[in-house]
């Protein structure tokens, strides 16, 4: 085989390895994105950014969250008092379940949840 043919064969082999590696990387990246966007259901409470996981200062948690959210935002308090910001603040169900125990479904990214469903805790 001539030097030119060997060189060409080597270049083609390198291009094939690079293409396979890039395809695997793209597949891994897509899998990670779809895993991040998977809906999760968690038990917890709808609270406000002022009180968070702490004690509410009014008679009932419902009254406190309804009053405090006017100067802040709704948050979700999950397991071990983990506080999640709620991305879609204008969701009507938030006010309905303010201060109550709920089963919340949504997609979580870092410390923020985009709510898709809220149901009363059973």
Distance in Å from the first CA to the final CA of the chain: 76
In this prediction, residue 34 carries a pLDDT of 47
In this prediction, residue 14 carries a pLDDT of 79
My answer on whether 80 and 21 are in the same domain is no
In this prediction, residue 119 carries a pLDDT of 95
My answer on whether 28 and 51 are in the same domain is no
My answer on whether 45 and 11 are in the same domain is no
List the chain residues with pLDDT less than 70: 10, 16-18, 20-23, 25-37, 56
* Phi, psi (deg, nearest 5) at residue 72: -160, -140
Domain count, the chain: 2
In this prediction, residue 64 carries a pLDDT of 86
In this prediction, residue 70 carries a pLDDT of 85
My answer on whether 62 and 85 are in the same domain is yes
**Domain boundaries, position 68:** 39-120
My answer on whether 58 and 4 are in the same domain is no
């Amino acid at each position: 085989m001539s030097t030119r043919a060997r060189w060409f064969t080597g270049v083609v082999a390198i291009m094939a390895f690079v293409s396979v590696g890039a395809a695997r990387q793209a597949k891994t990246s897509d899998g990670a994105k779809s895993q991040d966007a998977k809906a999760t259901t968690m038990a917890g409470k709808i609270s406000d950014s002022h009180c968070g996981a702490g004690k509410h200062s009014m008679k009932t948690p419902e009254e406190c969250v309804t009053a405090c959210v006017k100067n802040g935002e709704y948050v979700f308090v999950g397991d071990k008092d983990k506080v999640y910001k709620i991305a879609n603040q204008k969701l009507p169900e938030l006010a309905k379940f303010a201060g109550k125990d709920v089963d919340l479904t949504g997609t979580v990214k870092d410390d923020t949840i985009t709510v898709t469903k809220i149901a009363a805790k059973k």
